[in-house]
Chains A and B, each alone.
Chain A
Amino acid sequence: MNCKYIEDLLIEYLDNNLNQEQANEVESHLTSCENCRNEYEHAKQFLHMINDIEDEQPSANLSMKFNQLLEEEKENQRQESNQFTDQKQNNYKFGEFLKYAAAILIIFGVGFLLGKNLPSTNDQSMVIASLQSDLNNMKQNLTMATLKQPTSSQRLKAVNILEKQDVADDKVLSVLVQTLQSDANVNVRMAAANALTKFAQHPLVRNAYLEALKNQKEPSIQITLINILIDIQENRAKILLEEIMKEDKSLPVVKEMAKEGIKVFV
């Protein structure tokens, strides 16, 4: 019998981690091999010693500081929830963004725009309408440019801004779809998936969801996609869900959801 093989099993044997067959192998070898018996006693003694090591007590400071930390965080939480209400009322972030877009428009566009339009027409509302539409375009372009940014939080913000738009042209849709398919960050992809739900009747979007569910294996996005596909009643998802059920690597939670989904699509 191979002593090396037995030696490798000793720790697991001592921890009661072996199956019956392996345990028997170890035991029968130990009765016949003195070397391994010594090794076994040695290891046993050492593991006992380690298990006997008692934990040290931290000073009372630790609990005190934790409670402090918790109180501070609760205070932050209160302030944040106040701020959040303020933000909702003032539409703070969106306003800030418009200001930014407007500033750029003013720097590069308005002088030109007004200079060109004013002599030919006195219709103020025309100018304003045109300004408005330029502003919208500018906003979209800026946002789409932001989607090329290196940090995921910037891209996430950009997706959220695109989500707020009520009408989406094909350009916006295709940028969001592309983000859903290939952004490096799973949170950005999930945000894109959610942003697209508003346009879920668009065939391009429906296909994108299916494609994403087929290719993406992170549990968080799988769950998001399954929920969306059930919501929008996309029957073609059924076959993909069945594949997820068969896939060994899928998390139990995801499988469970896939199972529910399949029932819906029957």
Chain B
Amino acid sequence: MILVRSGELNALSPLFEKYHLRLYNFFLRLTKNQSISEDLVQSVFRRILTYRKTYNEQHKFRSWMYQIARNVHANYYRNNKLLISDFSEPEKIEYETDSAIEEMEKESRKRILYEAMDGLQTDQKEIIELSRFQGLKYREIAEITGLSETAVKVKAHRAINKLRELYFKLA
């Protein structure tokens, strides 16, 4: 990213390759909408380019990127309170093999989980997303959100317990 900041824009490509899938899924779980999630990923990289000169190498690129992603999502959320899911219907899978059944079950667990996530507040969703799906340490989440590490931990525990409760109600 230091290269990008100094004007070597091509250096952003490897970063896009590394992170776009994670970002896409980050937004997908928060918005439930594939095309919006693609747009939001695009917005993140547009902002990275626009604000490249403000990048400060004291912070990890990843933390900075998630900070931007949170802002992009918050912006989007403010402007679009009505979230419309465009999740495609599950593909019809033949019931013949064990692995197909396993696939189906996996798919249905995922749907229930996502449905359960809808029952969380936005900040809880976000903390689940960062701590679980994106696999970040509490320390890094603290840096991204500006909360203390302890506060992040407490929030993460509450969110995960709430999510579990919601999940087993639906399952």
Contact = CB atoms under 8 A, between A and B. Distances in A.
Q: Do A and B bind each other?
A: yes
Interface of A: 8, 11-12, 42-43, 46-47, 49-59, 61-63, 65-66, 69-70, 73-74, 77, 219-220, 251, 253
Contact of B42 (A42, A57, A69): A69
A169 to B, nearest CB: 33
A219 B58 contact: yes
Contacts of A11: 156-157, 160
A42 B164 contact: yes
Contact of B58 (A54, A58, A251): A251
B74 interface: no
A66 B16 contact: yes
13 contacts: A12-B153, A46-B160, A53-B109, A53-B133, A56-B24, A57-B21, A62-B42, A65-B42, A66-B16, A69-B46, A69-B49, A77-B9, A251-B58
B22 A55 contact: yes
Contact of B34 (A55, A58, A74): A58
Interface in B1-52: 7, 9-10, 12-13, 16, 20-22, 24-25, 28, 34, 37-38, 41-42, 45-46, 49
B96 to A, nearest CB: 22
Interface string B57-80: 010000000000000000000000
Nearest to B157: A11
Contacts of B113: 49-50, 53
B106 interface: yes
